[in-house]
Structure 1
């Protein structure tokens, strides 16, 4: 019985680690997209400012 419980606990721990890794990847992707949008807005803002100067 002990071996079965150990295997079950180990399997559950591995599942939880995989879920945590997936969440971490999703969060990094979210942050990267957010940074890309911010950079895009900055580029557009700079282009408008540049156009207004000339």
Structure 2
């Protein structure tokens, strides 16, 4: 009977460890996706800033 309890406890521990590992993996994926999204947004904003600067240079060149 004691052996059955140990096996049961071991199985529960293994299931808990698996669940923790899966949750950690999912959190890691979420962080990567978030970082990727932030990088895309930063590039997009950088492009917009470059376009605005170019427009300002054109307006200034036309004014002179």
Give how far 1:17 is off.
Answer: 0.4
Matches within 5 A, 1:32-43: 32-43=42-53
Q: What TM-score comes out, normalization by structure 2 length?
A: 0.83
Unaligned runs of 5+ residues in structure 1 are none
Runs of 5+ unmatched residues, structure 2:
1-10
Larger Rg over CA atoms: 2
For each residue in 1:8-50, what CA deviation from the matched residue of structure 2 results, as whole angstroms up to 9, or x when unmatched? Answer: 0000000000000000100000000000000000000000000
**Cα RMSD after superposing both structures:** 0.3
Aligned partners of 2:41 and 2:22: how far apart in 1? 28
| Number of residue pairs matched by the alignment | 54
| Pairing of 1:1-54 with structure 2 (within 5 A) | 1-54=11-64
